[in-house]
Structure 1
Amino acid sequence: MTDAELARDIATEAGALLLRIQDECAGGDRGDREANVLILERLRAARPEDAILSEESVDDPTRLARSRVWIVDPLDGTREFAERRDDWAVHVALAVDGRAEAGAVALPRLGVTLSSDAPQMLAEPQTPPRLLVSRSRPSALCVDVAGRIGAVSVGMGSAGAKAMAVVRGAAEIYLHSGGQHQWDNCAPVAVALAAGLHASRIDGSPIVYNGRATEIPDLLICRKEWAETVLAAVRECGR
Protein backbone atom coordinates (compact mmCIF):
# COMPACT_ATOMS: atom_id res chain seq x y z
CA MET A 1 0.00 0.00 0.00
CA THR A 2 1.35 3.44 -0.93
CA ASP A 3 1.61 6.25 1.58
CA ALA A 4 -1.24 8.13 -0.10
CA GLU A 5 -3.46 5.04 -0.09
CA LEU A 6 -2.71 4.54 3.59
CA ALA A 7 -3.55 8.17 4.34
CA ARG A 8 -6.83 7.86 2.44
CA ASP A 9 -7.88 4.65 4.17
CA ILE A 10 -7.07 5.96 7.65
CA ALA A 11 -8.75 9.34 7.09
CA THR A 12 -11.86 7.62 5.76
CA GLU A 13 -11.98 5.20 8.69
CA ALA A 14 -11.53 8.00 11.22
CA GLY A 15 -14.26 9.97 9.46
CA ALA A 16 -16.68 7.05 9.78
CA LEU A 17 -15.89 6.84 13.49
CA LEU A 18 -16.53 10.55 13.90
CA LEU A 19 -19.88 10.27 12.14
CA ARG A 20 -20.94 7.59 14.61
CA ILE A 21 -19.85 9.79 17.50
CA GLN A 22 -21.67 12.76 16.02
CA ASP A 23 -24.85 10.68 15.56
CA GLU A 24 -24.69 9.93 19.27
CA CYS A 25 -24.75 13.70 19.86
CA ALA A 26 -21.36 13.52 21.55
CA GLY A 27 -19.09 16.56 21.62
CA GLY A 28 -15.90 17.34 19.81
CA ASP A 29 -13.65 16.41 22.74
CA ARG A 30 -14.62 12.77 22.45
CA GLY A 31 -14.29 12.93 18.67
CA ASP A 32 -10.79 14.42 18.87
CA ARG A 33 -9.68 11.82 21.39
CA GLU A 34 -11.08 8.68 19.78
CA ALA A 35 -10.16 9.63 16.21
CA ASN A 36 -6.62 10.37 17.37
CA VAL A 37 -6.29 6.92 18.97
CA LEU A 38 -7.52 5.24 15.78
CA ILE A 39 -5.19 7.19 13.50
CA LEU A 40 -2.11 6.66 15.65
CA GLU A 41 -2.78 2.94 16.02
CA ARG A 42 -3.16 2.50 12.25
CA LEU A 43 -0.05 4.53 11.43
CA ARG A 44 2.13 2.79 14.00
CA ALA A 45 1.02 -0.61 12.74
CA ALA A 46 1.60 0.23 9.07
CA ARG A 47 4.66 2.53 9.29
CA PRO A 48 6.40 1.76 12.59
CA GLU A 49 9.64 3.51 11.59
CA ASP A 50 8.00 6.86 10.85
CA ALA A 51 7.50 9.74 13.28
CA ILE A 52 4.08 11.28 14.00
CA LEU A 53 3.02 14.83 14.84
CA SER A 54 -0.63 15.09 15.90
CA GLU A 55 -2.63 17.99 17.24
CA GLU A 56 -4.04 15.71 19.93
CA SER A 57 -0.77 14.18 21.18
CA VAL A 58 2.23 15.51 23.07
CA ASP A 59 4.90 16.57 20.59
CA ASP A 60 7.89 14.23 20.51
CA PRO A 61 10.97 16.26 19.49
CA THR A 62 12.70 13.17 18.12
CA ARG A 63 10.63 13.78 14.98
CA LEU A 64 13.02 16.62 14.10
CA ALA A 65 15.73 14.13 13.22
CA ARG A 66 13.44 12.04 10.99
CA SER A 67 12.94 12.34 7.26
CA ARG A 68 9.40 10.91 7.24
CA VAL A 69 6.86 12.43 9.61
CA TRP A 70 3.11 11.86 9.56
CA ILE A 71 1.24 15.07 10.40
CA VAL A 72 -2.37 14.60 11.41
CA ASP A 73 -5.40 16.48 12.64
CA PRO A 74 -7.93 13.90 13.83
CA LEU A 75 -10.77 16.44 13.78
CA ASP A 76 -10.25 19.70 11.94
CA GLY A 77 -13.18 21.92 12.84
CA THR A 78 -14.21 20.79 16.32
CA ARG A 79 -16.65 23.68 16.55
CA GLU A 80 -18.34 22.77 13.27
CA PHE A 81 -18.45 19.12 14.34
CA ALA A 82 -20.22 20.05 17.59
CA GLU A 83 -22.71 22.17 15.66
CA ARG A 84 -23.41 19.22 13.33
CA ARG A 85 -22.31 21.20 10.27
CA ASP A 86 -20.76 19.72 7.12
CA ASP A 87 -17.56 21.80 7.04
CA TRP A 88 -15.22 19.75 9.23
CA ALA A 89 -12.55 17.30 8.16
CA VAL A 90 -9.95 14.66 9.01
CA HIS A 91 -6.34 15.28 7.93
CA VAL A 92 -3.70 12.57 7.46
CA ALA A 93 -0.47 13.56 5.69
CA LEU A 94 3.12 12.48 5.28
CA ALA A 95 5.88 15.08 5.14
CA VAL A 96 9.19 13.92 3.67
CA ASP A 97 12.19 16.17 4.27
CA GLY A 98 9.83 19.04 5.06
CA ARG A 99 7.58 18.69 2.00
CA ALA A 100 3.93 17.65 2.00
CA GLU A 101 4.54 14.45 0.06
CA ALA A 102 1.27 12.53 0.41
CA GLY A 103 -2.00 13.12 2.15
CA ALA A 104 -5.74 12.78 2.39
CA VAL A 105 -8.56 14.95 3.65
CA ALA A 106 -11.83 13.26 4.56
CA LEU A 107 -15.05 15.29 4.51
CA PRO A 108 -17.24 12.73 6.26
CA ARG A 109 -20.54 14.61 6.16
CA LEU A 110 -20.12 14.97 2.40
CA GLY A 111 -19.17 11.30 2.00
CA VAL A 112 -15.89 12.04 0.25
CA THR A 113 -12.16 11.65 0.89
CA LEU A 114 -9.77 13.52 -1.37
CA SER A 115 -6.20 12.24 -1.62
CA SER A 116 -2.95 13.09 -3.34
CA ASP A 117 -2.88 9.84 -5.33
CA ALA A 118 -6.23 10.52 -7.01
CA PRO A 119 -6.09 14.18 -8.06
CA GLN A 120 -9.39 15.89 -8.63
CA MET A 121 -9.97 17.31 -12.11
CA LEU A 122 -10.37 21.05 -11.62
CA ALA A 123 -13.70 22.56 -12.60
CA GLU A 124 -14.06 25.71 -14.67
CA PRO A 125 -13.41 28.75 -12.48
CA GLN A 126 -16.02 31.38 -11.77
CA THR A 127 -15.73 35.15 -12.21
CA PRO A 128 -15.57 37.07 -9.95
CA PRO A 129 -13.48 34.63 -7.93
CA ARG A 130 -14.76 33.23 -4.65
CA LEU A 131 -12.35 33.76 -1.77
CA LEU A 132 -12.84 31.54 1.27
CA VAL A 133 -12.53 33.09 4.71
CA SER A 134 -13.24 32.09 8.28
CA ARG A 135 -16.99 32.03 8.87
CA SER A 136 -16.58 33.44 12.38
CA ARG A 137 -13.56 35.77 12.21
CA PRO A 138 -12.38 36.74 8.70
CA SER A 139 -9.05 38.55 8.94
CA ALA A 140 -8.57 42.15 7.90
CA LEU A 141 -6.06 40.96 5.29
CA CYS A 142 -8.62 38.68 3.64
CA VAL A 143 -11.19 41.48 3.55
CA ASP A 144 -8.63 43.88 2.03
CA VAL A 145 -7.40 41.39 -0.57
CA ALA A 146 -10.95 40.47 -1.59
CA GLY A 147 -11.70 44.14 -2.19
CA ARG A 148 -8.51 44.72 -4.18
CA ILE A 149 -9.03 41.79 -6.56
CA GLY A 150 -12.83 42.02 -6.78
CA ALA A 151 -13.43 38.67 -5.11
CA VAL A 152 -16.57 37.52 -3.36
CA SER A 153 -15.84 36.46 0.24
CA VAL A 154 -17.38 33.14 1.27
CA GLY A 155 -17.36 32.10 4.93
CA MET A 156 -16.68 28.47 5.76
CA GLY A 157 -15.55 26.38 8.74
CA SER A 158 -12.43 24.25 9.01
CA ALA A 159 -9.18 24.75 7.13
CA GLY A 160 -9.55 21.38 5.44
CA ALA A 161 -13.08 22.14 4.28
CA LYS A 162 -11.97 25.47 2.81
CA ALA A 163 -8.93 24.01 1.05
CA MET A 164 -10.96 21.15 -0.38
CA ALA A 165 -13.62 23.57 -1.59
CA VAL A 166 -10.95 25.00 -3.92
CA VAL A 167 -9.95 21.50 -5.01
CA ARG A 168 -13.61 20.58 -5.61
CA GLY A 169 -14.32 23.73 -7.62
CA ALA A 170 -16.57 25.41 -5.05
CA ALA A 171 -14.16 28.36 -4.78
CA GLU A 172 -11.05 29.72 -6.46
CA ILE A 173 -8.99 31.07 -3.53
CA TYR A 174 -8.34 30.16 0.10
CA LEU A 175 -6.31 32.83 1.89
CA HIS A 176 -5.49 32.57 5.58
CA SER A 177 -3.57 34.77 7.97
CA GLY A 178 -3.47 34.93 11.74
CA GLY A 179 -2.02 31.56 12.63
CA GLN A 180 -2.33 27.88 11.88
CA HIS A 181 -0.35 24.79 12.82
CA GLN A 182 1.32 22.18 10.67
CA TRP A 183 -1.56 19.76 11.14
CA ASP A 184 -4.06 22.37 9.91
CA ASN A 185 -2.68 22.44 6.38
CA CYS A 186 -0.19 19.64 5.61
CA ALA A 187 -2.80 17.22 4.27
CA PRO A 188 -4.76 19.95 2.45
CA VAL A 189 -1.55 21.21 0.82
CA ALA A 190 -0.58 17.69 -0.32
CA VAL A 191 -3.99 17.21 -1.94
CA ALA A 192 -4.04 20.71 -3.45
CA LEU A 193 -0.58 20.37 -5.00
CA ALA A 194 -1.48 17.00 -6.48
CA ALA A 195 -4.55 18.60 -8.07
CA GLY A 196 -2.39 21.24 -9.76
CA LEU A 197 -3.22 24.15 -7.46
CA HIS A 198 -0.86 26.75 -6.05
CA ALA A 199 0.05 26.39 -2.36
CA SER A 200 2.46 28.64 -0.48
CA ARG A 201 2.95 31.06 2.38
CA ILE A 202 1.39 34.47 1.71
CA ASP A 203 4.80 35.89 0.76
CA GLY A 204 5.03 33.24 -1.96
CA SER A 205 7.62 31.10 -0.18
CA PRO A 206 7.21 27.31 0.09
CA ILE A 207 5.59 25.80 3.16
CA VAL A 208 8.12 23.72 5.11
CA TYR A 209 6.90 21.05 7.52
CA ASN A 210 8.41 19.27 10.51
CA GLY A 211 9.84 22.48 11.92
CA ARG A 212 10.56 22.76 15.63
CA ALA A 213 7.71 25.22 16.11
CA THR A 214 4.38 23.74 15.08
CA GLU A 215 2.98 27.11 13.98
CA ILE A 216 2.57 28.06 10.32
CA PRO A 217 1.20 31.60 10.45
CA ASP A 218 -0.38 31.92 7.00
CA LEU A 219 -1.38 30.07 3.86
CA LEU A 220 -2.53 30.56 0.28
CA ILE A 221 -4.16 27.77 -1.72
CA CYS A 222 -5.64 28.88 -5.01
CA ARG A 223 -5.91 28.23 -8.71
CA LYS A 224 -2.58 28.95 -10.37
CA GLU A 225 -4.00 31.69 -12.56
CA TRP A 226 -4.88 33.68 -9.43
CA ALA A 227 -1.66 33.15 -7.49
CA GLU A 228 0.33 36.18 -8.65
CA THR A 229 -2.69 38.48 -8.40
CA VAL A 230 -3.39 37.43 -4.81
CA LEU A 231 0.28 37.56 -3.77
CA ALA A 232 0.59 41.05 -5.28
CA ALA A 233 -2.52 42.19 -3.40
CA VAL A 234 -1.05 40.83 -0.17
CA ARG A 235 2.13 42.85 -0.80
CA GLU A 236 0.07 45.96 -1.50
CA CYS A 237 -1.63 45.48 1.85
CA GLY A 238 1.79 45.70 3.48
CA ARG A 239 2.04 42.03 4.50
Structure 2
Amino acid sequence: MTAADHALAASLASEAGRLLLQVRQRDLPDAAARKAAGDTESHRFLVDELARQRPDDAVLSEEGADDPARLSADRVWIVDPLDGTREFSEPGRADWAVHVALWERGELVAGAVALPAESVTFATPAPPSPAPRADGPIRLVVSRSRPPVLVAELATRLRGELVPLGSAGVKAMAVVRGQADAYVHGGGQYEWDSAAPVAVARAAGLHTSRLDGSPLRYNQPSPWSPDLLVCRPELADDLLGALAETL
Protein backbone atom coordinates (compact mmCIF):
# COMPACT_ATOMS: atom_id res chain seq x y z
CA MET A 1 0.00 0.00 0.00
CA THR A 2 1.25 3.49 -0.88
CA ALA A 3 0.02 7.04 -0.47
CA ALA A 4 -1.17 6.76 -4.06
CA ASP A 5 -3.61 4.00 -3.01
CA HIS A 6 -5.27 6.31 -0.47
CA ALA A 7 -5.54 9.01 -3.11
CA LEU A 8 -6.91 6.58 -5.68
CA ALA A 9 -9.60 5.27 -3.32
CA ALA A 10 -10.72 8.82 -2.60
CA SER A 11 -10.68 9.97 -6.21
CA LEU A 12 -12.53 6.91 -7.51
CA ALA A 13 -15.25 7.17 -4.87
CA SER A 14 -15.65 10.90 -5.53
CA GLU A 15 -15.73 10.52 -9.31
CA ALA A 16 -18.21 7.65 -9.16
CA GLY A 17 -20.34 9.86 -6.92
CA ARG A 18 -20.33 12.65 -9.48
CA LEU A 19 -21.36 10.17 -12.15
CA LEU A 20 -24.24 9.00 -9.96
CA LEU A 21 -25.44 12.57 -9.47
CA GLN A 22 -25.65 12.88 -13.26
CA VAL A 23 -27.58 9.60 -13.50
CA ARG A 24 -29.96 10.85 -10.83
CA GLN A 25 -30.82 13.91 -12.92
CA ARG A 26 -31.85 11.91 -15.97
CA ASP A 27 -35.48 11.54 -17.00
CA LEU A 28 -35.76 7.84 -16.20
CA PRO A 29 -39.15 6.10 -16.11
CA ASP A 30 -39.19 5.01 -12.47
CA ALA A 31 -37.21 4.24 -9.32
CA ALA A 32 -36.26 0.75 -10.56
CA ALA A 33 -34.69 2.20 -13.70
CA ARG A 34 -32.84 4.79 -11.65
CA LYS A 35 -31.43 2.10 -9.34
CA ALA A 36 -30.36 -0.10 -12.24
CA ALA A 37 -28.66 2.73 -14.12
CA GLY A 38 -26.83 3.90 -11.00
CA ASP A 39 -25.59 0.43 -10.06
CA THR A 40 -24.51 -0.46 -13.59
CA GLU A 41 -22.77 2.77 -14.58
CA SER A 42 -20.94 3.29 -11.29
CA HIS A 43 -19.75 -0.33 -11.33
CA ARG A 44 -18.51 -0.05 -14.89
CA PHE A 45 -16.64 3.16 -14.13
CA LEU A 46 -14.94 1.72 -11.04
CA VAL A 47 -13.87 -1.60 -12.55
CA ASP A 48 -12.65 0.06 -15.75
CA GLU A 49 -10.57 2.59 -13.81
CA LEU A 50 -9.13 -0.07 -11.52
CA ALA A 51 -8.23 -2.22 -14.53
CA ARG A 52 -6.48 0.79 -16.05
CA GLN A 53 -4.72 2.10 -12.93
CA ARG A 54 -4.16 -1.11 -10.94
CA PRO A 55 -4.16 -3.88 -13.58
CA ASP A 56 -2.46 -6.42 -11.31
CA ASP A 57 -5.02 -6.09 -8.48
CA ALA A 58 -8.21 -8.14 -8.05
CA VAL A 59 -11.64 -6.55 -7.60
CA LEU A 60 -14.66 -7.66 -5.56
CA SER A 61 -17.72 -5.57 -6.46
CA GLU A 62 -21.34 -5.93 -5.46
CA GLU A 63 -22.35 -5.63 -9.11
CA GLY A 64 -19.70 -7.94 -10.59
CA ALA A 65 -19.20 -11.70 -10.82
CA ASP A 66 -17.10 -13.01 -7.95
CA ASP A 67 -13.80 -14.26 -9.36
CA PRO A 68 -12.26 -16.85 -6.97
CA ALA A 69 -8.82 -15.73 -8.16
CA ARG A 70 -9.11 -12.92 -5.60
CA LEU A 71 -8.54 -15.46 -2.82
CA SER A 72 -4.92 -15.94 -3.93
CA ALA A 73 -4.31 -12.26 -4.73
CA ASP A 74 -2.15 -10.05 -2.54
CA ARG A 75 -4.31 -6.99 -3.19
CA VAL A 76 -8.08 -6.82 -3.64
CA TRP A 77 -10.23 -3.72 -4.16
CA ILE A 78 -13.61 -4.18 -2.44
CA VAL A 79 -16.18 -1.78 -3.87
CA ASP A 80 -19.85 -0.98 -3.56
CA PRO A 81 -20.67 1.18 -6.57
CA LEU A 82 -23.90 2.43 -5.00
CA ASP A 83 -24.69 1.74 -1.36
CA GLY A 84 -28.24 2.72 -0.52
CA THR A 85 -29.98 2.22 -3.85
CA ARG A 86 -33.40 2.78 -2.27
CA GLU A 87 -32.36 6.21 -1.02
CA PHE A 88 -30.61 7.03 -4.31
CA SER A 89 -33.87 6.36 -6.15
CA GLU A 90 -35.86 8.75 -3.94
CA PRO A 91 -35.52 12.40 -4.99
CA GLY A 92 -34.06 14.61 -2.31
CA ARG A 93 -32.55 11.91 -0.12
CA ALA A 94 -28.84 12.28 0.69
CA ASP A 95 -28.19 9.06 2.66
CA TRP A 96 -26.54 6.98 -0.07
CA ALA A 97 -22.86 6.43 -0.76
CA VAL A 98 -20.02 4.98 -2.84
CA HIS A 99 -17.53 2.62 -1.15
CA VAL A 100 -13.98 1.93 -2.33
CA ALA A 101 -11.57 -0.07 -0.14
CA LEU A 102 -8.24 -1.83 -0.62
CA TRP A 103 -7.44 -5.10 1.16
CA GLU A 104 -3.81 -6.17 1.15
CA ARG A 105 -2.38 -9.40 2.60
CA GLY A 106 -5.04 -9.80 5.27
CA GLU A 107 -5.81 -6.19 6.21
CA LEU A 108 -7.83 -3.24 5.01
CA VAL A 109 -5.17 -0.66 4.18
CA ALA A 110 -7.04 2.13 2.39
CA GLY A 111 -10.61 3.21 1.89
CA ALA A 112 -13.00 5.99 0.98
CA VAL A 113 -16.70 6.63 1.46
CA ALA A 114 -18.21 9.30 -0.78
CA LEU A 115 -21.50 10.95 0.13
CA PRO A 116 -22.19 12.51 -3.28
CA ALA A 117 -25.41 14.31 -2.39
CA GLU A 118 -23.46 16.18 0.31
CA SER A 119 -20.36 16.72 -1.88
CA VAL A 120 -18.09 15.13 0.72
CA THR A 121 -15.73 12.14 0.74
CA PHE A 122 -14.23 10.61 3.87
CA ALA A 123 -11.00 8.76 3.19
CA THR A 124 -7.92 7.24 4.75
CA PRO A 125 -5.35 7.98 5.96
CA ALA A 126 -6.70 11.00 7.84
CA PRO A 127 -10.48 11.32 8.16
CA PRO A 128 -11.76 13.66 10.88
CA SER A 129 -11.97 12.29 14.41
CA PRO A 130 -15.38 12.68 16.04
CA ALA A 131 -15.82 15.64 18.35
CA PRO A 132 -16.13 14.99 22.10
CA ARG A 133 -19.42 13.30 22.89
CA ALA A 134 -22.16 15.56 24.22
CA ASP A 135 -24.17 14.61 27.28
CA GLY A 136 -27.34 12.67 26.62
CA PRO A 137 -28.53 9.20 25.66
CA ILE A 138 -26.37 7.00 23.49
CA ARG A 139 -27.34 7.38 19.82
CA LEU A 140 -27.51 4.16 17.81
CA VAL A 141 -27.77 4.53 14.06
CA VAL A 142 -30.15 2.04 12.48
CA SER A 143 -31.68 1.14 9.12
CA ARG A 144 -34.64 3.36 8.33
CA SER A 145 -36.34 0.63 6.28
CA ARG A 146 -35.34 -2.56 8.13
CA PRO A 147 -34.51 -1.70 11.76
CA PRO A 148 -33.33 -4.93 13.46
CA VAL A 149 -34.97 -6.04 16.69
CA LEU A 150 -31.47 -6.48 18.18
CA VAL A 151 -30.72 -2.75 18.02
CA ALA A 152 -34.11 -1.81 19.47
CA GLU A 153 -33.46 -4.17 22.39
CA LEU A 154 -29.96 -2.74 22.82
CA ALA A 155 -31.35 0.81 22.86
CA THR A 156 -33.85 -0.19 25.55
CA ARG A 157 -31.12 -1.81 27.64
CA LEU A 158 -28.84 1.24 27.35
CA ARG A 159 -31.66 3.81 27.45
CA GLY A 160 -30.45 5.02 24.10
CA GLU A 161 -32.16 6.52 21.08
CA LEU A 162 -32.32 5.29 17.49
CA VAL A 163 -31.12 7.40 14.56
CA PRO A 164 -32.63 6.03 11.30
CA LEU A 165 -30.50 6.36 8.13
CA GLY A 166 -30.11 4.60 4.78
CA SER A 167 -26.74 3.46 3.44
CA ALA A 168 -24.34 1.47 5.62
CA GLY A 169 -21.62 3.94 4.64
CA VAL A 170 -23.75 6.87 5.74
CA LYS A 171 -24.43 5.12 9.06
CA ALA A 172 -20.74 4.52 9.75
CA MET A 173 -19.83 8.06 8.68
CA ALA A 174 -22.48 9.39 11.08
CA VAL A 175 -20.32 7.95 13.87
CA VAL A 176 -17.16 9.39 12.31
CA ARG A 177 -18.88 12.78 12.12
CA GLY A 178 -20.15 12.64 15.70
CA GLN A 179 -23.79 12.56 14.58
CA ALA A 180 -24.23 9.17 16.25
CA ASP A 181 -22.31 7.14 18.82
CA ALA A 182 -22.52 3.65 17.37
CA TYR A 183 -23.54 1.65 14.33
CA VAL A 184 -24.69 -1.83 15.34
CA HIS A 185 -25.69 -4.25 12.60
CA GLY A 186 -26.76 -7.79 13.37
CA GLY A 187 -28.69 -8.89 10.29
CA GLY A 188 -25.76 -9.76 8.07
CA GLN A 189 -24.34 -7.86 5.11
CA TYR A 190 -21.65 -8.27 2.48
CA GLU A 191 -17.99 -7.29 2.58
CA TRP A 192 -18.58 -4.43 0.14
CA ASP A 193 -21.17 -2.96 2.52
CA SER A 194 -18.65 -2.49 5.31
CA ALA A 195 -15.06 -2.65 4.00
CA ALA A 196 -14.62 1.01 3.07
CA PRO A 197 -16.66 2.33 6.04
CA VAL A 198 -14.59 0.19 8.42
CA ALA A 199 -11.30 1.34 6.87
CA VAL A 200 -12.31 4.98 7.29
CA ALA A 201 -13.73 4.46 10.78
CA ARG A 202 -10.51 2.79 11.95
CA ALA A 203 -8.45 5.64 10.54
CA ALA A 204 -10.66 8.06 12.50
CA GLY A 205 -9.84 6.19 15.72
CA LEU A 206 -13.14 4.37 16.14
CA HIS A 207 -13.66 0.82 17.41
CA THR A 208 -14.63 -1.73 14.74
CA SER A 209 -15.37 -5.42 15.34
CA ARG A 210 -17.91 -8.22 15.18
CA LEU A 211 -20.68 -7.99 17.77
CA ASP A 212 -18.80 -10.42 20.02
CA GLY A 213 -15.68 -8.26 19.84
CA SER A 214 -13.79 -10.55 17.46
CA PRO A 215 -11.95 -9.08 14.46
CA LEU A 216 -13.63 -8.38 11.14
CA ARG A 217 -12.22 -10.43 8.25
CA TYR A 218 -12.22 -9.49 4.58
CA ASN A 219 -11.53 -11.22 1.26
CA GLN A 220 -13.06 -14.41 2.62
CA PRO A 221 -14.30 -17.26 0.38
CA SER A 222 -17.87 -16.17 1.10
CA PRO A 223 -18.22 -12.38 1.10
CA TRP A 224 -21.10 -12.59 3.61
CA SER A 225 -20.39 -10.89 6.96
CA PRO A 226 -22.70 -11.81 9.87
CA ASP A 227 -22.54 -8.64 11.94
CA LEU A 228 -20.72 -5.38 12.64
CA LEU A 229 -20.01 -2.85 15.38
CA VAL A 230 -18.59 0.62 14.70
CA CYS A 231 -18.54 2.90 17.72
CA ARG A 232 -16.72 5.55 19.69
CA PRO A 233 -13.81 3.80 21.47
CA GLU A 234 -14.87 4.93 24.93
CA LEU A 235 -18.23 3.16 24.48
CA ALA A 236 -16.89 -0.13 23.12
CA ASP A 237 -16.72 -2.01 26.43
CA ASP A 238 -20.23 -0.96 27.47
CA LEU A 239 -21.69 -1.83 24.09
CA LEU A 240 -19.94 -5.19 23.86
CA GLY A 241 -21.08 -6.03 27.39
CA ALA A 242 -24.67 -5.10 26.62
CA LEU A 243 -24.53 -7.03 23.35
CA ALA A 244 -23.26 -10.12 25.17
CA GLU A 245 -26.38 -9.97 27.36
CA THR A 246 -28.70 -9.25 24.43
CA LEU A 247 -27.51 -11.80 21.87
The gaps in structure 2 that reach 5 residues or longer are 29-33
| Aligned counterparts of 2:106 and 2:40: Cα–Cα separation in 1 | 26
Any idea what SS the aligned residue of 2:128 has? coil
Q: Of the candidates 12, 21, 24, which is equivalent to residue 22 of structure 1? A: 24
Alignment of 1:3-152 (within 5 A): 3-26=5-28, 27-84=34-91, 85-126=93-134, 127-152=136-161
Is 1:130–1:154's contact at 8 Å kept on the other side of the alignment?
yes
Per-residue CA deviations over 1:196-216 (Å, capped at 9, x if unaligned) read 000011010111100000100
TM-score of the superposed pair, with normalisation by structure 2: 0.94
Per-residue CA deviations over 1:14-62 (Å, capped at 9, x if unaligned) read 0000001111144111000000010011111111111100000000000
Is 1:99–1:207's contact at 8 Å kept on the other side of the alignment?
no
Q: Percent identity?
A: 53
Per-residue CA deviations over 1:102-145 (Å, capped at 9, x if unaligned) read 10000000110000122213212132121001101211110111
Partner in structure 1 of residue 31 of structure 2:
none
**Residue 195 (str. 1) matches residue 197 (str. 2):** no
TM-score of the superposed pair, with normalisation by structure 1: 0.97
The gaps in structure 1 that reach 5 residues or longer are none
Any idea what SS the aligned residue of 1:113 has? strand
The amino acid of 1:215's aligned partner reads W
For residue 97 of structure 1, report the CA deviation from its aligned partner: 2.1
For residue 217 of structure 1, report the CA deviation from its aligned partner: 1.2
| Aligned counterparts of 1:25 and 1:219: Cα–Cα separation in 2 | 37
**Residue 158 (str. 1) matches residue 158 (str. 2):** no
| Aligned counterparts of 2:70 and 2:16: Cα–Cα separation in 1 | 23
Is 1:5–1:117's contact at 8 Å kept on the other side of the alignment?
no
Aligned residues: 238
| Aligned counterparts of 2:98 and 2:201: Cα–Cα separation in 1 | 15
| Aligned counterparts of 1:224 and 1:140: Cα–Cα separation in 2 | 24
| Aligned counterparts of 1:133 and 1:150: Cα–Cα separation in 2 | 15
Partner in structure 2 of residue 211 of structure 1:
220
Partner in structure 1 of residue 4 of structure 2:
2
For residue 98 of structure 1, report the CA deviation from its aligned partner: 2.8
